[in-house]
């Protein structure tokens, strides 16, 4: 085997090991079956999901990560953390899961910027009153908040989610035997206690001790029912809705049933087993629970979602896309043919992984691929990579692989940033609740974004190679010019049709085809810009370089349309807001302007002669 | 001369210039929506001949940049010029070959789209219908336009409504018309005002201008405030009107405002054995039928406040057509009835009132035709390009 073949093989093996590594199940040395725990079904945020999702999303919301680093250096994954929250809440309260970066918020805790980044519930507890007072004062509209107020609101939301989660498994007691005592006492008192309360209300003689005890428990569980955020028991047969019951409601229902539903005991016993270091009891209880839930859920789908969470297909795709991008660039310097083939192979592998992730989301959510800002980022990348792969197959010059690699990686990184604010598989808002339009208008316009970014990226490569490298030939330049022109035609087709479909949907939904709202205006700008480019090229007002510069301009317009319009806080399309994203958008726009400026340098200063 | 005009209006340069101008119009209009709301920007930018954009003083570096003004051609101007450009260019480049058919269709469809835009601008009427559960409504009202009404309530079953549109209500004018039962002198008209108890305002030491009605009885006065541009916050049009009989004598001065809605007792008076009511209210559009709200539902996803569906169970009662039937209006599913479309827009009053958006636009089908024609044209053009490309790269 010669050197080239060995390197190619090495690259392939690297990519394959990234893909396969995620398939290996996590090894837990303690004997506790955390995997089984993580696939318990619950109802959270209006949908059925595994505890795994709840754990990861809550952690992402508070710390931006899916793991917890303890002060002793040990690392907890999301599943283990959630077990601690359920079984040893006082201990969990000492874990540093709240990330604070804002100077003024840190000041509330007497900390300076850089001293400490992650804080525990206990660390923050002393200033709860201050936070509460501030939250009363702060304007709930995020556009009108200062950065400090935005960060404090974010912290408050994370604290609330944490508080509600930790109370979702059982009422708080000193230890697990106290909990079981409480349940036993409550069961015994439900029948008599209710009778005594009735006697009291009818003005008859009643036993005040029993009555007061009953009221005490009732109030405790009523409060609990308002806090607990997870539905842990499927709806009763007598319910008309599909709402799962939380622990507070289950305990209150004991009055009607004269016993507490076994699920509450299951959670209590499981927590106790963990706290007392009894893996076999822990695992056995979990088995019983899974058997119980079987008739109420699609356990395959629940388990699949937990697997999907832990596999992290998009993270792995980012790695392989980046590798493909680097190899593609390398192919222009040395070993052209070999690296071109490798780059194409790597991009294809990453694309397959990316596609699997996309399909998995469609399966879990039961919706077309684009339903919120997060999924739009996943799909924009997917569309651009697909087009890039087709280009590579036709032209075989590593351009396709290069742009696919960089766009694939970048959009997935953007997606990751967008995933930090909540459940990415969230339920659709009422006005968006139309699978037909989601599958047509949204998908088509997103493909339009993909194509515009692809053309812009190829244009950047044209500029870069022309200005900074010596081996950019006139033939390659002509080819790139054809690519960009063709892709822009494609982009115009999809952007225009997508925008028109949006008008039709708006007419069906809001009563008017076009309302000139910011998102509609943004889409119109993309269509107009590409129309300007194509008309200018036909009229020969611009040549190849002009085409490239304007294509890079398309990146700016598309970024404005995709993200900028959401930041204005205006109009019917205003359902995705962000804060720090504004800075990122400005930096992106400046970078594109820089590329345009470089490309505008007169040809005689370019290193390549085209 | 004619040659020069023809050359100018058919040129590709004009097209490119107009497209760039329209991009600027759309972009700056969007920026202004932050401060002026969608409705105001529609009027200023898209339903206008020219418009001037000013850097908002409230934005960063505003104290210096506020002097930056950019004049632009308005929507009507650009639309008209584009239409002319498309028409004239069509004659210049007309070629009946199949190869050009795609482009022809695309541009034809665009002409239709621009025309539909103009028509919508002129013909579209947008209003809202508020219906309480278990009650019915036969009118909808505008969010932006007001009317001064004098209602003859003498007969029991019939109200005769004399409506004076807002644009006639200017401070210090006399409204005289043979159709009106009275003349109306507008003493003051405010686009937006607060209403407060006179004793709690700086006007406490002056006499109340109102001599009749709520103004006098509740001792309230109007304090003008700046116009609101927030789409969710309507302007409280308010006025002091002097009602003058046919002999020229004043019957009285009333304080009227769209803030004094049906939660307040109506302002009525008697004159020569006839009973009248006077009010300033959002402009109403009456219909020859009733919509009765039997039930409004706000379904949420279990355990959350995320809206899953809004729906109104409506009963249509049309005495003219002798029609009584049930229907359901919900998200993405409007009721199209009698040339108007009723959408589930919002709700109020603790989910006991349904708010329907009523759209009237006789040209509503035009965009659909335009989309179809352009879509066909794009498809032909794309397939032609694709086959050419594939032939070359076989």
Given this model, what pLDDT does residue A578 score? Answer: 47
- B152, with CB counted inside 10 A (0-12, 13-18, 19+), is middle
Nearest to A496 by CA among A523, A536, A456, A532: A523
The CA distance from A314 to B258, in Å, is 56
Nearest CA in chain A to B366: A513
Backbone phi, then psi, for A277, in 5-degree steps? 55, 55
User: Which of B23, B124, B306 faces A46 most closely, judged by CB atoms?
Assistant: B306
What mean pLDDT do residues B210-220 have?
A: 90
Nearest CA in chain A to B300: A46
pLDDT tens digits along B363-383: 999 999 999 999 899 888 888
The CA distance from A32 to A55, in Å, is 17
Q: How far is Cα of residue B153 from the mean position of the Cα atoms in its chain?
A: 29
- Give the mutation candidate from B19, B25, B30, B60 for the A interface (greatest A CB count, under 10 A): B30
Residues of chain A numbered 86-145 and touching chain B (CB < 8 Å) = none
pLDDT tens digits along A389-425: 999 999 999 999 999 999 999 999 999 988 887 778 8
Residue B319 has pLDDT above 60, yes or no: yes
Given this model, what pLDDT does residue B375 score? Answer: 85
Give kind and range of the element (H or E) at residue A410. Answer: helix A399-418
Given this model, what pLDDT does residue A430 score? Answer: 67
The CA distance from B100 to B380, in Å, is 9
- A230, with CB counted inside 10 A (0-12, 13-18, 19+), is buried
Nearest to A105 by CA among A136, A131, A133: A131
Give kind and range of the element (H or E) at residue B357. Answer: strand B353-360
Given this model, what pLDDT does residue A576 score? Answer: 39
Q: Which residues contact A56 (CB under 8 A, 6 or more apart)?
A: A66, A78, A309
Query: What token pair was written down for B107?
Result: 């541009």
Cβ–Cβ under 8 Å, residues B254 and B267: yes
> Which neighbouring-strand residues pair with B239?
B189, B256
Q: Decide which of A569 and A76 is more confident.
A: A76
Residue A572 has pLDDT above 60, yes or no: no
Predicted complex ipTM: 0.91
Q: Which residues contact B97 (CB under 8 A, 6 or more apart)?
A: none
**DSSP-derived 3-state class of residue A477:** helix
pLDDT tens digits along A338-366: 999 999 999 999 999 999 999 999 999 98
Residues of chain A numbered 476-505 and touching chain B (CB < 8 Å) = 486, 489-490, 493, 496-497, 500-501, 503-505
Given this model, what pLDDT does residue A575 score? Answer: 41
- Angle between helix A176-201 and A262-275 (nearest 10): 150
Residue B189 has pLDDT above 70, yes or no: yes
DSSP string, B66-119: TT-EEEEE-HHHHHHHHHHHHHHHHHHH---SGGGHHHHHHHHHHHHHHHHHHH
Residue A144 has pLDDT above 60, yes or no: yes
Query: What token pair was written down for A49?
Result: 């999901």
Nearest to A309 by CA among A425, A227, A388, A221: A425
Cβ–Cβ under 8 Å, residues B18 and A528: no
- Distance in Å, alpha carbon of A568 to nearest chain B alpha carbon: 6
Task: Kindly report the three-state secondary structure assignment for every residue of A560-593.
Answer: HHHCHHHHHCCCCCCCCCCCCHHHHHHHHHHHHH
User: Which of A430, A500, A568 faces B308 most closely, judged by CB atoms?
Assistant: A430
Cβ–Cβ under 8 Å, residues A482 and A547: no
Residue A435 has pLDDT above 90, yes or no: no
The position carrying tokens 């699920």 is A263
Number of inter-chain CB pairs under 8 A, A vs B: 156
The pLDDT mean for chain A works out to: 91
- A600, with CB counted inside 10 A (0-12, 13-18, 19+), is exposed
The CA distance from B203 to B41, in Å, is 35
The CA distance from A343 to A328, in Å, is 5
Of chain B, the percentage scoring pLDDT greater than 90 comes to: 60
The CA distance from A575 to A570, in Å, is 10
- pTM of the predicted model as reported, rounded to 2 decimal places: 0.87
Q: Which residues contact A491 (CB under 8 A, 6 or more apart)?
A: A448, A451, A452, A454, A455, A526, A530, A554
What mean pLDDT do residues A256-268 have?
A: 92
Sign of torsion over alpha carbons A515, A520, A522, A525: negative
- Distance in Å, alpha carbon of A86 to nearest chain B alpha carbon: 20
Nearest to A550 by CA among A573, A533, A570: A533
Please state, in angstroms and as integers, the Cα–Cα distance from residue A203 to each residue in A198, A199, A207, A211, A305, following that order.
Answer: 9, 6, 12, 13, 55
Residue A168 has pLDDT above 90, yes or no: yes
Give kind and range of the element (H or E) at residue B346. Answer: strand B340-348
Q: How far is Cα of residue A477 from the mean position of the Cα atoms in its chain?
A: 39
pLDDT tens digits along B2-13: 888 888 898 999
The H helix count followed by the E strand count for chain A is 25, 6
Residues of chain A numbered 23-62 and touching chain B (CB < 8 Å) = 43-47
**DSSP-derived 3-state class of residue B306:** coil
Query: What token pair was written down for A219?
Result: 């109030």
The CA distance from A11 to A346, in Å, is 8
Backbone phi, then psi, for B373, in 5-degree steps? -65, -45
Residue A200 has pLDDT above 90, yes or no: no
What mean pLDDT do residues A306-334 have?
A: 94
Of chain A, the percentage scoring pLDDT greater than 70 comes to: 97
pLDDT tens digits along A85-119: 999 999 999 999 999 988 899 999 999 888 889 99
Backbone phi, then psi, for A484, in 5-degree steps? -65, -45
Query: What token pair was written down for A215?
Result: 């009221």
- Distance in Å, alpha carbon of B280 to nearest chain A alpha carbon: 27
Residue A428 has pLDDT above 50, yes or no: yes
Q: How confident is the model at residue A579 (pLDDT cuts 50, 70, 90)?
A: low
Cβ–Cβ below 8 Å for A515 and B38: yes
The CA distance from B200 to B383, in Å, is 73
| Chain B residues close to A571, C-beta within 8 Å | 33, 38
The length of chain A in residues reads: 610
Given this model, what pLDDT does residue B56 score? Answer: 86
Q: How confident is the model at residue A599 (pLDDT cuts 50, 70, 90)?
A: very high
The CA distance from A474 to A606, in Å, is 13
Cβ–Cβ below 8 Å for A522 and B30: yes
Taking chain B, what is the end-to-end CA distance rounded to the nearest angstrom?
51
Nearest to A353 by CA among A320, A397, A393: A320
Query: What token pair was written down for A492?
Result: 């115009």
Q: Decide which of A207 and B51 is more confident.
A: B51
The length of chain B in residues reads: 394
Q: How far is Cα of residue B250 from the mean position of the Cα atoms in its chain?
A: 35
- Judged by a CB distance cut-off of 8 A, whether residue A571 touches chain B is yes
| Chain B residues close to A504, C-beta within 8 Å | 367-368, 371
Q: Are strands B125-132 and B353-360 parallel, antiparallel or unpaired?
A: antiparallel
User: Which of A489, A510, A518 faces B343 most closely, judged by CB atoms?
Assistant: A510
């Amino acid at each position: 085997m010669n050197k080239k073949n060995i390197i190619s093989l090495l690259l392939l093996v690297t990519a394959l090991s990234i893909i396969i590594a995620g398939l290996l199940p996590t090894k837990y040395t303690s004997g506790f079956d955390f995997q089984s725990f993580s696939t318990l079904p619950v109802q959270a945020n209006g949908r059925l999901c595994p505890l795994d999702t709840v754990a990861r999303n809550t952690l992402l919301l508070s710390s931006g990560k899916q793991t917890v680093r303890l002060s002793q250096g040990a690392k907890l994954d999301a599943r283990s953390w959630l077990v601690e929250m359920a079984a040893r809440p006082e201990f969990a309260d000492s874990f540093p899961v709240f990330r604070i970066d804002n100077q003024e918020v840190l000041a509330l805790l007497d900390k300076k910027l850089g001293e400490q980044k992650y804080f525990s519930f206990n660390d923050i507890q002393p200033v709860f009153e201050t936070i509460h007072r501030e939250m009363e004062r702060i304007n709930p509209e995020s556009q009108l908040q200062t950065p400090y107020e935005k960060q404090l609101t974010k912290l408050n939301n994370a604290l609330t989610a944490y508080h509600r989660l930790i109370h979702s498994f059982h009422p708080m007691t000193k230890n697990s035997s106290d909990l079981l005592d409480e349940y036993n006492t409550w069961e015994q008192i439900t029948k008599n206690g209710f009778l005594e309360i009735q006697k009291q209300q009818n003005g008859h003689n009643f036993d005040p001790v029993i009555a007061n005890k009953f009221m005490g428990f009732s109030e405790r569980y009523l409060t609990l029912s308002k806090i607990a955020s997870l539905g842990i028991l499927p709806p009763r047969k007598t319910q008309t809705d599909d709402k799962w019951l939380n622990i507070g409601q289950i305990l209150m229902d004991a009055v009607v049933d004269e016993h507490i539903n076994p699920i509450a005991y299951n959670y209590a016993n499981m927590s106790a087993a963990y706290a007392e270091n009894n893996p076999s009891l822990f695992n056995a209880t979990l088995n019983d629970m899974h058997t119980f839930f079987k008739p109420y859920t699609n356990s395959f789908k629940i388990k699949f979602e937990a697997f999907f969470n832990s596999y992290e297909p998009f993270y792995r795709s980012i790695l392989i896309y980046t590798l493909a991008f680097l190899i593609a660039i390398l192919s222009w310097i040395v070993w052209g043919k070999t690296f071109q083939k490798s780059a194409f192979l790597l991009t294809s592998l990453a694309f397959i992984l990316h596609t699997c992730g996309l399909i998995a989301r469609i399966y879990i959510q039961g919706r077309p691929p684009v339903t919120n800002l997060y999924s739009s980022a996943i799909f924009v990348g997917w569309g651009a990579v697909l087009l890039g792969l087709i280009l590579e197959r036709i032209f075989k010059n590593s351009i396709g692989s290069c742009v696919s690699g960089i766009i694939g990686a970048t959009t997935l990184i953007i997606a990751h940033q967008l995933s930090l604010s909540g459940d990415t598989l969230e339920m659709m808002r009422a006005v968006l609740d139309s699978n037909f339009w989601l599958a047509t208008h949204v998908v088509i316009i997103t493909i339009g974004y993909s194509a515009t970014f692809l053309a812009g990226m190829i244009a950047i490569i044209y500029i870069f190679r022309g200005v900074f490298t010596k081996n950019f030939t006139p033939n390659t330049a002509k080819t790139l010019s054809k690519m960009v022109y063709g892709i822009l035609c494609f982009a115009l087709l999809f952007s225009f049709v997508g925008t028109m479909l949006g008008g039709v949907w708006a007419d069906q939904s809001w009563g008017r085809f076009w309302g000139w709202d910011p998102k509609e205006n943004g889409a119109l700008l993309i269509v107009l810009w590409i129309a300007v480019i194509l008309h200018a090229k036909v009229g020969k007002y611009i040549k190849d370089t002009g085409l490239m510069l304007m294509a890079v301009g398309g990146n700016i317009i598309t970024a404005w349309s995709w993200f900028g319009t959401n930041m204005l806080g205006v109009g019917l399309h205003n359902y995705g807001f962000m804060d720090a994203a504004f800075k990122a958008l400005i930096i992106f726009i400046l970078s594109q302007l820089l590329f345009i400026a470089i490309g505008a340098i007169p040809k005689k200063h370019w290193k390549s002669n085209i | 001369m004619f040659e020069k005009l023809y050359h100018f209006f058919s040129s590709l340069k004009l097209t490119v210039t107009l497209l760039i101008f329209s991009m600027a119009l759309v972009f700056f209009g969007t920026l202004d929506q932050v401060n002026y709301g969608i409705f105001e920007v529609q009027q200023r930018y898209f339903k206008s001949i020219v418009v001037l954009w000013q850097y908002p003083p409230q934005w960063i570096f505003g104290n210096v940049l506020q002097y930056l003004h950019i004049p632009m051609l308005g929507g009507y101007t650009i639309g008209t010029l584009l239409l002319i450009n498309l028409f004239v260019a069509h004659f210049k480049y007309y070629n009946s070959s199949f190869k050009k058919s795609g482009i022809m269709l695309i541009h034809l469809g665009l002409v239709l789209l621009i025309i539909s835009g103009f028509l919508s601008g002129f013909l579209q009427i947008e209003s809202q219908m508020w219906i309480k559960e278990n009650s019915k409504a036969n009118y909808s009202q505008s969010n932006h336009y007001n009317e001064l009404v004098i209602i003859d309530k003498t007969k029991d079953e019939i109200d005769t409504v004399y409506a004076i549109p807002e644009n006639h209500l200017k401070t210090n004018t006399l409204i005289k018309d043979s159709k009106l039962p009275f003349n109306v002198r507008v003493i003051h008209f405010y686009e937006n005002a607060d209403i407060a108890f006179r004793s709690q305002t700086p006007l406490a030491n002056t006499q109340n201008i109102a001599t009749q009605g709520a103004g006098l009885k509740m001792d309230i006065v109007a304090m003008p405030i700046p116009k609101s541009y927030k789409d969710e916050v309507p302007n409280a049009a308010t006025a002091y009107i002097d009602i003058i009989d046919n002999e020229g004598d004043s019957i009285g001065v009333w304080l009227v405002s769209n803030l004094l809605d049906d939660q307040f007792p109506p302002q009525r008076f008697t004159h020569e054995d006839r009973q009248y009511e006077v009010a300033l209210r959002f402009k109403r559009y009456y219909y020859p039928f009733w919509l009765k709200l039997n039930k409004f539902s706000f379904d949420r996803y279990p355990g959350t406040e995320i809206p899953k569906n809004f729906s109104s169970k409506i009963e249509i009662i049309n005495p003219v057509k002798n029609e009584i039937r049930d229907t359901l209006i919900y998200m993405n599913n409007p009721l199209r009835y009698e040339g108007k479309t009723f959408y589930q827009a919002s709700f109020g009053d603790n989910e006991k009132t349904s708010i329907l958006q009523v759209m009237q636009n006789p040209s509503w089908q035009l965009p659909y035709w335009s989309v179809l024609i352009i879509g066909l044209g794009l498809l032909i053009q794309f397939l032609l390009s694709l086959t050419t490309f594939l032939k070359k790269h076989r």
